[in-house]
Amino acid sequence: MKLWGGRFTKPTNELVDEYTASIHFDQKLAVYDIQGSLAHVEMLKVCGIVSEEDADVITAGLRVVGDKIAAGEAVLSEENEDIHMNIEKLLIDEIGSVGGKLHTGRSRNDQVALDMRLYLREALVTISQLLLDLQKALHKQAEANLETVLPGYTHLQRAQPVLFAHHMMAYVYMFQRDIERLSDSWKRVNQSPLGAGALAGTTFPIDRQYVADKLRFEGICENSLDAVSDRDFVVEFLANASLVSTHLSRLCEELVQWSSAEFNFIELDDAFCTGSSMMPQKKNPDVAELVRGKTGRVYGHLMGMLTTLKGLPLAYNKDMQEDKEGMFDTVETLKGALALFAPMIETMEVKADNMYEAVAKDYSNATDLADYLVGKGMAFRESHAVVGQAVLYAINQQKFLLDLSLDEFQRFSSLIEKDIYEVLAPKAVVDARNVAGGTAQNRVEEQIASAKQLFQMSSEWIELHKQLIRYQ
């Protein structure tokens, strides 16, 4: 007999049981479901809705059920559809019909919304910690490569040289915004829907605030219809996760390119690469490729969730059971990628000499020659044309700008003097970009220093919120 079987005259078709069940994936919510139920029954007791005696029996029973599930000793069944009804059934098996009092003043609709929020709170903290670890690995590489110059690219054409540290710090700031987005979303996740009932509230004199306080929520969802039908906190998480994936994927692409023979700028540690079953010489950057590839499923989950919600009438609809797998998979996908990424970045070998050689053998100091002429009074548009001519000449001579003699330089402008050779040297070109946020070494040092304060802030946020969810 189903928990809701009273008004039915027939057993459910087996295929319907199979099709509508969510137990095979929502069992992930078991621990949060137990936490929520413990808080709910305590509130029922405090409000005099369930006797102290009954509430204590239920509380003890819930703990036993929780332990059994954690130990893998509980049988979870499709007939009981989802984790909420499975736990209720296990509780009744454990303590008898008094277990049936747990669901007083509650519906699975507010219960599932609660579990999702409890789950996501923890995920926000864990993912933020992993992002911070990755930032620290990038930051370490920046500190170790303060004088390493490599070509900076636009259109994947060598553009102007930059410090490798500058390049690493660019990602530090991307992941910083990701952490900030996750921590900002906390306040919207951290509202308790419990007490909204199926959709309209409940006739029992419950105390929603009591449950919210117990579970360390900042407040309660103020509208019961909204409380049970809103999943925008899931969409928001998936959108934030999509941006994390975007950032990771761009970094992946650079690691893949940089470790090719064509670039040869870095070597990923053997521990983070794999070989080919056929070609003995191969060392493939599989991790970076797979993280890049998994971006697709994260974006897909975002689209899926948005589409599922679109056009749903208020309040709860069974469609919303589709909110879980994408969220779980996204959390697992990010955790998996980030856990690998920090040590992979930390252990990668930076081939500073090859990077420098790439800079020395290109024309990425052309802007500096143009700027030099501007310094001598020429209009930038004119100097741009003059230097364009000089570059063309050098290309035809199979030379780089620094290979030109002073005589050759002066064919293009008499304003050029012999100090030009210092001006066009790679490190001088980098250090000339001495503007806030620029690639000059002292400017990058500023970033490296100020990022430490950002890390400190993130670290404090993470610690505080780790404490907050450790409430039992």
Kindly list the catalytic residues. 155, 276
As measured in angstroms, the least distance from the Cβ of 121 to ligand ARG is: 18
Q: What's the CA gap between 346 and 309, in Å, rounded?
A: 41
- C-alpha span between 312 and 320 (Å, rounded): 9
Nearer to ligand ARG, 112 or 162 (CB): 112
Angle in degrees, CA 136, 142, 144, rounded to 5: 105
Q: Per-residue DSSP letters for 324-370? A: HHHHHHHHHHHHHHHHHHHHHHHHPEE-HHHHHHHHHTSSTTHHHHH
Q: Which of 35, 37, 80, 109 binds ligand ARG (CB under 6 A)?
A: 109
Do the Cβ atoms of 384 and 369 come closer than 8 Å?
Answer: no
Which of 82, 368 has the CB closer to ligand ARG?
A: 82
Contact between 160 and ligand ARG by CB under 6 A: the answer reads: no
Q: Does 320 bind ligand ARG (CB under 6 A)?
A: yes
Residue in 108, 121, 301, 465 binding ligand ARG, rule: CB under 6 A: 108
Cα-to-chain-centroid distance, residue 241: 4
Residues 158-188: b if buried by 16+ CB within 10 A, e if exposed: bbbbbbbbbbbbbbbbbbbebbbbbbebbee
Q: What are phi and psi of 181, to 5 degrees?
A: -65, -45
Tell me the two tokens of residue 467.
Answer: 């404490």
CA dist 179 and 185 (Å) reads 10
Stretch of 106-114, 168-176, 179-187, 201-209 contacting ligand ARG, by CB under 6 A: 106-114
Cβ density class 42-73: b for 16+ within 10 Å, e for less: bbbbbeebbeeebbebbbebbeebbeebeeee
Contacts of 383-387 with CB under 8 Å at 24 or more apart are: 383/413, 386/412, 386/413, 387/412
Q: Name the residue nearer to ligand ARG (CB basis): 320 or 355.
A: 320
Q: Which of 135, 229, 295, 321 binds ligand ARG (CB under 6 A)?
A: 321
Strand partners, 158: 153
Shortest Cβ 313–ligand ARG spacing (Å): 15
Q: In the complex, what is the shortest distance from the CB of residue 153 to ligand ARG, in angstroms, rounded to a whole number?
A: 47
Q: Which is nearer to ligand ARG, 31 or 444 (CB)?
A: 31
**Interaction of residue 86 with ligand ARG, rule CB under 6 A:** no
Stretch near ligand ARG under the rule CB under 6 A, chosen from 105-113, 162-170, 253-261, 460-468 = 105-113
User: In this complex, which beta carbon is closest to ligand ARG, that of residue 322 or of residue 362?
Assistant: 322
Report the residue from 49, 91, 112, 348 that binds ligand ARG according to the rule CB under 6 A.
Answer: 112
Determine if 383 is a binding residue for ligand ARG (CB under 6 A).
no
Segment contacting ligand ARG by CB under 6 A, of 90-98, 313-321, 401-409, 413-421: 313-321
Nearer to ligand ARG among residue 135 and residue 321 (C-beta): 321
User: Applying CB under 6 A, which part among 33-41, 108-116, 120-128, 386-394 lies near ligand ARG?
Assistant: 108-116
* The pair of three-digit structure tokens given for residue 177, joined into one six-digit string: 């915004």
Tell me: does residue 22 bind ligand ARG (CB under 6 A). yes
Q: How many residues bind ligand ARG (CB under 6 A)?
A: 9
In 3D space, the residue among 117, 115, 103 whose CA is nearest the CA of residue 40 turns out to be 103
Residue 214's identity, in one-letter code, is: K
Is residue 26 involved in binding ligand ARG (CB under 6 A)? yes
Query: Does 224 sit near ligand ARG (CB under 6 A)?
Result: no
Our finding on whether 308 is near ligand ARG (CB under 6 A) is no
Residue 82 in contact with ligand ARG, rule: CB under 6 A: yes
Q: Do 334 and 245 meet the contact criterion of CB atoms below 8 Å apart?
A: yes
Interacting residues with ligand ARG (CB under 6 A) = 22, 26, 82, 108-109, 112, 318, 320-321
